[in-house]
Amino acid sequence: MRNIFAHFLTEQRGRFALFLPVFLGAGLLFYFNLATEPPLAWPLSATALFAAASLALSRRPMARAPALCATCVAAGVCLGCLAAARAPAWIALPRHAAALTGTIDGIDILPAGRRVTLRHPTIDGGPPLPRAVRIRLRTSDTTRLAQGDEIALRALLQPPSPPDYPGGWDTQRDAFFNFQGGFGFAIGPVRVIHRAATHPLARLRQTIAARIMAALPGPTGAIAATLLTGLGTAIPQADRAAYEASGLAHLLAVAGLHIGIVMGLTFFAARLGLAAWEYAALAWPTRQLAAFAALAAGLLYLEITGAHIPILRSFGMAALVTLGVVTGRRAISLRGLALAATVLMLASPESIMGVSFQMSFSAVLCLIAGYEVARPVLLHVGAGRWWRRPALYAAGLVLSSALAGTASAPFAAYHFGRACLYYVPANMLAVPLTAIWVMPWGLAALALMPLGLEHLALPPMGWGIAALTGIARFVAAWPDANLPVPLLPCWSPVLVAAGLAWAGLLRGRLRLAGGLPILAGLLAPALLPRPDLVIAPGSRLIALNLAGQIFLQSEPSASAFETQAPLRLWAAGTVRPFTTQLPDLICDTAACRTNRILFVRNSDTVDCSLPVIISATWLHDPCPTALVIDHAFVAREGATLVYLTQGGPTALTDRATRGTRPWVIPLQASLPMAKTE
């Protein structure tokens, strides 16, 4: 037994430190899933206590390891508390049309119209507010605007919406940590109060996007502007849906692939140019100089594309790779990945809840670990005759697509309710086209823009983008290309992440045990009961799952995203209106009923013999023996899921799921109007 344990320690030497960021992330996940906000003193005390214990046990490694892990978990909770503490409180928004003034912090070009983000806005002449607001301008408003301008307008405002159903995506949490206070739309024209000198990089970004759109109008130009500036709001929804269904959505999210292509092309171009100069080739360290040129190109590309979180993370990884090239060390390693994850969690703790963080780090982890295992086989495939080199490239492309796509698929399924089945063939066609044709022509267009010659490079780039869109549409049309996935519990991606960390960070056969939590996380939809009823926030939507058939009743104010929520929840494809007459669903002008549920429409009198009473209005005389979910209940508890079990109906509400956290806007139920005789 002692020999086995000694062999395990020898085999896993140096791997324990890689798990410390995993435990730091576990502490953050624990914090974000608490029902109430913990006092900061508790995790701070726990961190100090465990850190002191790890120092005291420095000469006993086996006892010190659990103390270090506990220190990281407690530190993760501390990071979450500090991030919430430094975010300003929610701002009070008027329910009437308000006069807004503020400085433009960003302009989004939409498929129809524009949207502006106002920094430190004032409402009806009040003091500047600590949170920004995002306002969609009228489509007919063509006022010339630039970042930094101070503007005034009238708009209707509303706070960020709660989740569409308990366990759904929390837009309020996103807005809270992004310092956003509300959204709205303009009801009048924009008036420019003061035009400020735009930041050079912001002006450069907008100029590049405008010149691209002028040379390549339509969806092709919108995608080209996304690849070169990161401004992707003008892409039509149909094209975006095709990229998502085919597994190519990552091509529209400027991140690791794009900055890798930019830096890789710059590295090889710089090294080729230096090698062609005899003096430089003999006297200068061309490899190191090319690496620094690639780093400078990556930094410029990062600034042009907006320096958002995904590309900042990717640039951090690329900088570590460059440092490895300069120092002669291994460029891509698990230690570099662990360092990048730690830095990002320290700088932005809330990013761990985002789909970008989860998908990208899981993909990179599987790529590094997968190639670590497959390297001997790939070296054997590439050795020998000339034709083995193309075979090695093809094998690497298939392996990369399979590893990255498979690792990130569970997180995409959790956040979007969809699973792309054909991502491997789609990426085998699209990624080489992007790397060999689209991005090189895009970089050439950027280089030619100061000379006014970008029209020489943008049309070929547009041909490549048209081919990419064709691939996306072709693959998206395959049977079950974008397979719906039922609602996954929050612990499902946690189990998958734990299994991936175990399998990716350990050596030897022990890593195979990581498949058990991954399998448990993937089987979650089959292990959990599905709800029978969904009531959206404000009772704007009521959906019923009756023997596999989905029935929907929605108000005109319900958004398209809200009406799609039941389909994502139940992995369904079609819905029927409540007016449909079936043996199990009987409707008249006053109500619809099943054998267990009554849906009240236009009546205050209800049949209390049924166990569940649903109404989108106020019920003045509710049944004491039934589960009554009316407008007052939803206004108080938020979105609700109802499970019809043998022991009776049970309700899961948004209030119970999210608890009372700083980012949860308290629900306020207005009282009903008094009945008059």
pLDDT digits (tens, 9 = 90+) for 434-492: 989 999 999 999 989 989 899 999 999 999 999 999 999 999 999 988 888 888 888 89
* pLDDT at 57 (0 to 100): 87
607 vs 40, which has greater pLDDT?
Answer: 40
Distance of CA 192 to the CA centre of its chain: 34
Which pLDDT tens digit goes with each residue over 189-206?
Answer: 999 999 876 667 777 787
Which pLDDT tens digit goes with each residue over 372-398?
Answer: 888 887 777 666 666 667 777 777 778
Query: What are residue 157's DSSP bridge partners?
Result: 184
Which pLDDT tens digit goes with each residue over 27-65?
Answer: 999 999 999 999 999 999 999 999 999 999 888 877 888
* pLDDT at 172 (0 to 100): 94
Q: Looking at residues 115-123, what average pLDDT do you find? A: 94
Distances (CA, A) of 45 to 27, 28, 42, 53: 14, 16, 5, 12
68 confidence band (pLDDT: 50, 70, 90): very high
97 confidence band (pLDDT: 50, 70, 90): very high
Which pLDDT tens digit goes with each residue over 509-530?
Answer: 888 899 999 999 988 877 788 8
Measured distance CA(87)–CA(159) in Å, rounded: 16
* pLDDT at 672 (0 to 100): 39
DSSP designation for 660: B
Domain positions in the chain: 15-86, 98-198, 225-484, 491-527, 533-658
The lowest-confidence range among 246-260, 400-414, 645-659 is 246-260
Is the predicted pLDDT of residue 629 greater than 90, yes or no? Answer: no
Q: Looking at residues 402-419, what average pLDDT do you find? A: 88
Question: How would you label 293-317 residue by residue, b for 16+ Cβ within 10 Å and e otherwise?
Answer: bbbebbbebbbbbbeebbbbbbbbb
Output the average pLDDT for the chain. Answer: 85
Is the predicted pLDDT of residue 676 greater than 60, yes or no? Answer: no
552: amino acid identity, one letter:
L
The lowest-confidence range among 2-11, 250-259, 288-297, 667-676 is 667-676
Which pLDDT tens digit goes with each residue over 281-306?
Answer: 888 888 889 988 988 998 888 888 87
Angle between helices 20-32 and 61-86 (to 10 degrees): 40
675 confidence band (pLDDT: 50, 70, 90): very low
443: amino acid identity, one letter:
L
| Sequence-distant (≥ 6) Cβ neighbours of residue 518 within 8 angstroms | 410, 495, 496, 499, 500, 503
Measured distance CA(133)–CA(99) in Å, rounded: 13
609 vs 515, which has greater pLDDT?
Answer: 515
Distance of CA 628 to the CA centre of its chain: 35
224 vs 13, which has greater pLDDT?
Answer: 224
Residue 439 and residue 258 in contact, taking contact as beta carbons nearer than 8 Å? yes
3-state helix, strand, coil in the chain (%, to 5): 55, 15, 30
Query: What are residue 136's DSSP bridge partners?
Result: 115, 185
Distances (CA, A) of 295 to 256, 261, 266, 321, 441: 14, 12, 9, 10, 20
The lowest-confidence range among 111-115, 161-165, 250-254, 575-579 is 575-579
Percentage of the chain with pLDDT > 90? 37
* pLDDT at 144 (0 to 100): 87
Which pLDDT tens digit goes with each residue over 235-265?
Answer: 888 899 899 899 898 888 887 778 888 888 8
SS (H, E, C) 407-456: HHHHHHHHHHCEEECCHHHHHHHHHHHHHHHHHHHHHHHHHHHHHCCHHH
Range with the largest mean pLDDT of 472-486, 526-540, 658-672: 472-486
Is the predicted pLDDT of residue 104 greater than 80, yes or no? Answer: yes
Q: Looking at residues 165-191, what average pLDDT do you find? A: 92
Range with the largest mean pLDDT of 77-91, 134-148, 161-175, 519-533: 77-91
Report whether CATH 2.40.50.140 matches the domain 98-198: yes
Nearest Cα residue to 83 out of 348, 352, 356, 355: 348
* pLDDT at 537 (0 to 100): 86
Q: Looking at residues 575-580, what average pLDDT do you find? A: 72
| Sequence-distant (≥ 6) Cβ neighbours of residue 73 within 8 angstroms | 23, 24, 26, 27, 30
671 confidence band (pLDDT: 50, 70, 90): very low
Is the predicted pLDDT of residue 430 greater than 70, yes or no? Answer: yes
Residue 147 and residue 199 in contact, taking contact as beta carbons nearer than 8 Å? yes
Is the predicted pLDDT of residue 585 greater than 50, yes or no? Answer: yes
Measured distance CA(320)–CA(335) in Å, rounded: 10
The secondary structure element, H or E, covering residue 120 is strand 114-123
* pLDDT at 153 (0 to 100): 95
Which pLDDT tens digit goes with each residue over 262-283?
Answer: 888 898 899 999 998 888 888 8
